[in-house]
Amino acid sequence: MSKYSIAEFIKNTEQEDKGEGLFELETPRMLEVNLNGMIWAKAGSMVAYNGKIKYEREGILEHGLGSMFKKALTGEGASLMKANGQGKLYLADGGKKIIILQLQNESIYVNGNDLLAFEPSLKHEIKLMKRVAGMMAGGLFNVRCEGSGMLAITTHYEPLTLRVTPGKPVITDPNATVAWSGNLRPEFQTDISFKTFVGRGSGESIQMRFEGDGFVIVQPYEEVYMQQANS
């Protein structure tokens, strides 16, 4: 059906309480937060809200990384905001698919551009990928979340999770890498032979190499903010 009366359209698209708790997927690309207190959210992700909610932006540089990395920041992907109060808050990020994860005394790294929201019960630390600071124009930051609580991540289209097992490393394109288990420490490598096939523009292809025992989440899309500095 492509035509609706106004009443039919409202019925098919209106907000619905599902009773799922703090985080609910109102649609696959819209997160409803039933707020009664505080959460962290990606700066600029608020679409709508009702109730009494205050917002306070916190820049990544307030986490002690230093102003020398300021030029590496691109867009909104490096900033978080606090949403504090009571009401319903609706978050989205460029129409990306939203996945809610429940951590149970676990840890996960999420690309700074792909973290939508998380509970304050999760300890978070913003990390800089120092080894590629000279090679990449942006997208250098990821966030490590640890503890018990919910977080919401975003992906372009359907994500794929790859298992990393001892002796069988997984190599990924940083532009398509969304998240990985908190015990993994990726190494960055370049492959000149792939330069005409992989990545954007000319030059060496930068890859992430995961070794150990864990998982990596990738998406079928290359984020445009992670371009080579010389492209």
What does each C-alpha distance from 197 to 73, 202, 221 come to in angstroms?
Answer: 27, 9, 15
Confidence (pLDDT) at 213: 97
Arithmetic mean of pLDDT, 146-174: 96
DSSP of 22-75: SEEEEETTEEEEEEEEEEEEETT-EEEEEEEEEEEEE-GGGGTT-GGGGGG--T
Return mean pLDDT, the chain: 83
- From 89, 119, 85, 113, select the one nearest 101 (Cα to Cα): 119
Give the range among 14-23, 122-131, 147-156 with minimum mean pLDDT: 122-131
Convert the pLDDT of each residue in 3-15 to its tens digit: 888 999 888 888 8
3-state helix, strand, coil in the chain (%, to 5): 10, 50, 40
Report how far residue 14's alpha carbon sits from residue 215's, in angstroms, rounded to the nearest whole number. 37
Q: How many CA atoms lie within 13 A of 123 on its CB side?
A: 6
Convert the pLDDT of each residue in 33-54 to its tens digit: 999 999 999 999 999 999 999 9
With b for 16 or more beta-carbon neighbours within 10 A and e for fewer, the 95-122 pattern comes to: ebbbbbbebeeeebbbbbbbbbbbbeeb
Q: With pLDDT > 70 as the criterion, what percentage of the chain qualifies?
A: 77
Look at residue 230 and tell me whether its pLDDT is greater than 50: no
DSSP of 109-146: EEETTSEEEE-TTSEEEEEE-GGGTTTBSS--EEEEEE
Confidence (pLDDT) at 192: 64
Give the range among 68-72, 93-97, 144-148, 177-181 with minimum mean pLDDT: 68-72
Confidence of residue 22 (pLDDT cuts 50, 70, 90): very high
Look at residue 133 and tell me whether its pLDDT is greater than 70: no
Confidence of residue 144 (pLDDT cuts 50, 70, 90): very high
Confidence (pLDDT) at 196: 53
Arithmetic mean of pLDDT, 106-133: 87
Confidence (pLDDT) at 96: 97
Give the range among 6-20, 99-113, 119-133, 146-160 with minimum mean pLDDT: 119-133
Look at residue 152 and tell me whether its pLDDT is greater than 80: yes
Q: What is the reported pTM? A: 0.84
Look at residue 193 and tell me whether its pLDDT is greater than 80: no
